[in-house]
Amino acid sequence: MIPATTSQTVGPYFSIGLSLLFRSDLAVPGVQGARFTLEGRVLDANRQPIPDALIEIWQADSVGKYPQEQDAFRGFGRVATDSDGAFRFTSIKPGPLPGPHGTTQAPHLEVSVFMRGLLIHLTTRMYFPDEPANASDPILSLVPAARRETIIARKTESGVLHWDVLMQGDDETVFFDI
């Protein structure tokens, strides 16, 4: 009789099938827009790093248009967290996007989190700090004011955006049902 093996929901073998698809630099030469770097960590409820998560981002270009096949800007990035739970992307700031019922959405990144123990990935957004359009964003306004800071990055002294994804506990990142 062959002994049963343990099951894994999504890993830990990201590098075997996905490493060729990793893309951390979306701001390739020739793409127009204000460049930014986003750094952060994926943390558990005890604020311990999750070293084997996968972060994907989707975003519009600098004029608020999602990329088409012929566009130089692809709008998609994917990275694995390192041993400290850290991730990093370089991209361009997206423009405002059309929202529901004729509204306008503030510039943001769509973020998916994949990790061990999750049968279905989690979805959230990352908004830009000091963005005037955040005040009227129809999706951000659905989030209780006290929780909005969990999905708004902060700018460091060096100009890098910092945003941690806290999977559980106090100040857990807001995740959306889609």
Answer yes or no: is 81 within a domain: yes
In eight-state DSSP terms, residue 87 is E
Answer yes or no: is 3 within a domain: no
Say if CB 127 and CB 138 are below 8 A apart: no
Answer yes or no: is 126 within a domain: yes
pLDDT tens, N- to C-terminus, the chain (178 residues): 554 445 545 455 445 566 667 899 999 888 999 999 999 999 999 999 999 899 999 999 999 999 988 888 999 999 999 999 999 999 999 999 999 999 999 999 999 999 988 888 999 999 999 999 999 999 999 999 999 999 999 999 999 999 999 999 989 999 999 7
Handedness of CA 143, 148, 150, 155 (dihedral sign): positive
CATH of the domain at 135: 2.60.130.10
Answer yes or no: is 7 within a domain: no
Task: Report how far apart, in Å, the C-alpha atoms of 102 and of each of 44, 62, 97 are.
Answer: 38, 20, 10
Domain count of the chain?
A: 1
Select from 37, 11, 32 the least CA-distant residue to 153. 37
Using DSSP bridges, classify how beta strands 104-105 and 76-80 pair: parallel, antiparallel or unpaired: unpaired
Judge residue 14's burial from the number of C-beta atoms within 10 Å of its C-beta, 0-12 exposed, 13-18 middle, 19 or more buried: buried
Domain enclosing residue 116, as ranges? 14-166
Answer yes or no: is 129 within a domain: yes
**What are φ and ψ of residue 142, in 5° steps?**
-75, -20
Amino acid present at 86: A
Answer yes or no: is 97 within a domain: yes
Answer yes or no: is 21 within a domain: yes
Answer yes or no: is 175 within a domain: no
